[in-house]
């Protein structure tokens, strides 16, 4: 009943638009374009979150979903005398995972250059410690794909400190349902939210409560949903990623329901209801705990919103690296979003 082609259309487009925290205008414009096409009512907050509201029977107790559209990335910290660029990460990046990756440098006045992220000792034929050098930001730099060998030449290109660095997402859809890409955290969640809005509007589904769908920015740096949650919200569900791995219960093939992360336990009763919806509708789900994780729902609570919160999402393997998930996990998450939205 869900149109997988359309979900993949949204997912592929969202993955292809770079959106490190702080540089999200382009992806926001894309989301707004798609919202126009389906006649969804929305507004944009000062900080840049997009809030879509679909009216329901009850307007006093609203329900809100959030999905962040910002991702990891980097920023130019220094133009070196050699013409290479020193960088600083944006969000919880593991530098090991970006070594040798293609990237683009976006200047303040919208010129884009390509480059490669290398260590400062990238050749084993030259540096005897090339293999053992610690992969941390100070030891990594960008080699720009331009003929430059001085700071002045790089500056002449219009590149300066503070320019955003976007990593090549390397998106691949396999025939058996896997999606591999950087930034599936949380572009998978954003695509699910986008499709859920379309599905509810186009099928004229009657919702029991006014339901909001918020695309947030700045989640990866900790304060995404600290503002912009509609004030009558009683329940806030963050759609983000599950974290499968050693000792974890999450799965790429299920919707993962978070019981607790570093910010503490999520609302007990809301989690119970979401779990019951999965059981009653035969939605494949996994409950899990994340040791190094906090979400937009945690950001909203810390900001003082008086809401019950939950965190759900498809399991994303190798999160904050080159990530992978499966359409089964995406569809299970979508199904839970739709079934919860319809629940009285």
- What's the closest the beta carbon of residue 129 comes to Zn ion, in angstroms? 35
**How is the chain split among helix, strand and coil, in percent rounded to 5?**
30, 30, 40
**Strand 58-68 relative to strand 209-216, pairing:** parallel
With CB under 5 A as the contact rule, the residue among 21, 53, 97, 186 that binds Zn ion is 186
CB 50 within 8 A of CB 103: no
Per CB under 5 A, 252 contacts Zn ion: no
d(CA 306, CA 344): 21
Per CB under 5 A, 240 contacts Zn ion: yes
Instruction: Judge if the upstream peptide bond of residue 186 is cis by omega within 30 degrees of 0.
Output: yes
The span of 232-240, 261-269, 280-288, 302-310 binding Zn ion (CB under 5 A) equals: 232-240
Is the CB of 185 or the CB of 210 nearer to Zn ion? 185
Residue bearing tokens 């879509």: 52
CB 4 within 8 A of CB 163: no
The span of 4-12, 87-95, 185-193, 206-214 binding Zn ion (CB under 5 A) equals: 185-193
- What's the closest the beta carbon of residue 292 comes to Zn ion, in angstroms? 12
Is the CB of 163 or the CB of 220 nearer to Zn ion? 220
Per CB under 5 A, 70 contacts Zn ion: no
The span of 23-31, 142-150, 183-191, 258-266 binding Zn ion (CB under 5 A) equals: 183-191
Residues forming a β-bridge with 42: 52
Residue bearing tokens 């691949």: 172
Question: In the structure encoding, which two tokens stand for residue 89, read together?
Answer: 């990460």
As separate numbers, helices (DSSP H) first and strands (DSSP E) second, the chain gives 7, 18
d(CA 314, CA 331): 8
Among the residues of the chain, which ranges form H helices? 4-16, 25-37, 151-156, 184-202, 268-280, 296-302, 327-342
Q: Indicate which residue of 62, 141, 219, 235 is catalytic.
A: 219
- What's the closest the beta carbon of residue 307 comes to Zn ion, in angstroms? 19
- In this structure, the number of other CB atoms found within 10 A of the CB of residue 162 comes to 11
- What's the closest the beta carbon of residue 27 comes to Zn ion, in angstroms? 14
The span of 184-192, 205-213, 249-257, 271-279 binding Zn ion (CB under 5 A) equals: 184-192
Per CB under 5 A, 49 contacts Zn ion: no
The span of 93-101, 110-118, 142-150, 181-189 binding Zn ion (CB under 5 A) equals: 181-189
Three-state DSSP class for residue 225: helix
- What's the closest the beta carbon of residue 99 comes to Zn ion, in angstroms? 22
Q: With contacts defined by CB under 5 A, how many residues of the chain interact with Zn ion?
A: 3
Is the CB of 64 or the CB of 186 nearer to Zn ion? 186
219 is known as an active-site residue: yes
Is the CB of 74 or the CB of 154 nearer to Zn ion? 74
Per CB under 5 A, 298 contacts Zn ion: no
Three-state DSSP class for residue 312: strand
With CB under 5 A as the contact rule, the residue among 70, 163, 185, 252 that binds Zn ion is 185
Is the CB of 22 or the CB of 115 nearer to Zn ion? 22
Per CB under 5 A, 251 contacts Zn ion: no
- What's the closest the beta carbon of residue 12 comes to Zn ion, in angstroms? 19
CB 45 within 8 A of CB 53: no
- What's the closest the beta carbon of residue 25 comes to Zn ion, in angstroms? 20
Q: What value, to the nearest 5°, has the Cα angle with vertex 183 and ends 181 and 189? A: 105
Catalytic residues: 219
Task: Kindly list the residues in this chain that would bind Zn ion in the complex (CB under 5 A).
Answer: 185-186, 240
């Amino acid at each position: 009943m869900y149109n997988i082609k359309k979900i993949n259309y949204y997912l592929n487009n969202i993955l292809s638009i770079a959106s490190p925290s702080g540089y999200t205008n382009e992806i926001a414009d894309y989301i707004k374009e798609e919202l126009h096409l389906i006649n969804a009512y929305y507004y944009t907050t000062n900080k840049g979150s997009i809030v879509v509201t679909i009216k329901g029977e009850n307007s006093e107790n609203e329900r809100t979903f959030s999905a962040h559209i910002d991702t990891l990335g980097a920023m130019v910290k220094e133009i070196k005398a050699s013409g290479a660029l020193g960088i600083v990460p944006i969000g919880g990046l593991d530098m090991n995972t970006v070594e040798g990756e293609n990237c683009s440098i976006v200047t303040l006045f919208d010129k884009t250059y390509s480059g490669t992220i290398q260590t400062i000792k990238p050749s084993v034929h030259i540096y005897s410690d090339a293999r053992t050098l610690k992969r941390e930001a100070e030891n990594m730099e960008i080699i720009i794909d331009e003929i430059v060998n001085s700071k002045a030449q790089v500056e002449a290109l219009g590149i300066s400190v503070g320019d955003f660095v976007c990593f090549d997402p390397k998106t691949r859809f396999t025939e058996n349902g896997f999606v591999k890409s950087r930034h599936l955290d949380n572009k998978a969640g954003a695509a699910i939210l986008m499709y859920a809005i379309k599905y509810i509007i186009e099928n004229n589904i009657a919702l029991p409560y006014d339901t909001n769908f918020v695309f947030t920015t700045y989640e990866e740096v900790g304060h995404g949903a600290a503002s912009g949650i509609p004030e009558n919200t009683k329940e806030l569900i963050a759609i983000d990623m599950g974290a499968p791995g050693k000792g974890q219960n999450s799965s790429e093939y299920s919707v993962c329901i978070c019981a607790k992360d570093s910010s503490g336990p999520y609302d007990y009763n809301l989690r119970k209801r979401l779990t019951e919806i999965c059981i009653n509708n035969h939605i494949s789900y996994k409950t899990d705990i994340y040791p190094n994780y906090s979400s937009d729902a945690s950001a909203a609570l810390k900001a003082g919103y008086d809401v019950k919160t939950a965190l759900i999402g498809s399991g994303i393997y190798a999160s904050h690296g080159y990530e992978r998930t499966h359409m089964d996990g995406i569809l299970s998450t979508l199904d839970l979003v739709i079934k919860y939205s319809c629940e009285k």
